[in-house]
Amino acid sequence: MPRPVTEAARTRTGNYVIAAAAGVALLGAAGCSSGGTGAGSAAEPATTAPAAQGQQPQASGGASGYADGTYSADGQYQSPGGTETIGITMTLQSGTVTDVQAQTRPSNPNTRRFQGEFASGIAGQVVGKKLDELNVSKVAGSSLTSGGFKDAVEKIKAEASR
């Protein structure tokens, strides 16, 4: 589902490294599609038709001849498992592509895995950093489980080691 223009446009301000990297990875992958995406090159974004997705570009115009807005289209490519579809959403501002998003529509589990790698960007093996090297206020995880559950696990460990 295409995301709103306002949200997509935010991805190029500040240090939104994640979204920016996703766009780069996507364009490389879309180049091997069997046609129809219009997203093979960042230089020709306007061949993408917005109407089918039901989201109208915002008509603010620009010197480029392309209306500013968010454009979406589907493209197909051949995978070993058959034809697969990938959805591309692009944001144009003053003739420049400011954001690219992809939505995968995989039809088999293997494709789901491989599509994920270029649709969203796979960061390779995540090594991590020591928490105490980071200047963070909060940790999102589930290690803070307290009470009965932890106690019960400890009890089981104790019994198991007897």
Partner 1 sequence: MAALAHEFAFDAIGTRWSIATGQPLDAPARAAVAACIEDYSLLWSRFREDSLVARLAGQPGSHRLPAHAAGLAEVYAALHRATGGQVSPLVGSSLERLGYDAGYSLTPAGDPLPAPAWDNVDGVLAWNGPELATAAPLLLDVGAAGKGQLVDLVAGVLRARGFARCLVDAGGDMLVDAGGPVEVALEHPYDATRAIGSLVVEGQAICASAANRRAWGEGLHHVLDARTGVPVDSVAATWAVAESTLVADGVATGLFFASPARLAAESCLAGFSCVRMFSDGRAEYWGTLKGELFV
CA distance 8 to 98: 8
CB nearer to partner 1: give 65 or 128: 128
Which residues neighbour 41 within 8 Å (Cβ) at sequence distance 6 or greater? 27, 31
Taking the complex as a whole, the smallest distance from the CB of residue 20 to partner 1 amounts, in Å, to: 10
Question: Coil, strand or helix: which one is 152?
Answer: helix
Taking the complex as a whole, the smallest distance from the CB of residue 86 to partner 1 amounts, in Å, to: 9
Taking the complex as a whole, the smallest distance from the CB of residue 29 to partner 1 amounts, in Å, to: 14
CB nearer to partner 1: give 13 or 35: 13
Q: Which helix (H) or strand (E) holds 76?
A: strand 69-79
CA distance 98 to 23: 10
CB nearer to partner 1: give 19 or 46: 19
Structure tokens at 22: 């996703």
Give one word for 61, left, alpha or beta, with left for phi > 0 and alpha for psi -120 to 50: left
CB nearer to partner 1: give 1 or 63: 1
Taking the complex as a whole, the smallest distance from the CB of residue 54 to partner 1 amounts, in Å, to: 13
- Cβ neighbours, 10 Å, residue 33: 20
Q: List contacts with partner 1 (CB under 8 A).
A: 1, 3, 7-8, 10-11, 14-19, 22, 87, 101, 103-106, 112, 115-117, 119-132, 134-149, 151-153, 156
CB nearer to partner 1: give 79 or 105: 105
Taking the complex as a whole, the smallest distance from the CB of residue 65 to partner 1 amounts, in Å, to: 28
CA distance 21 to 127: 18
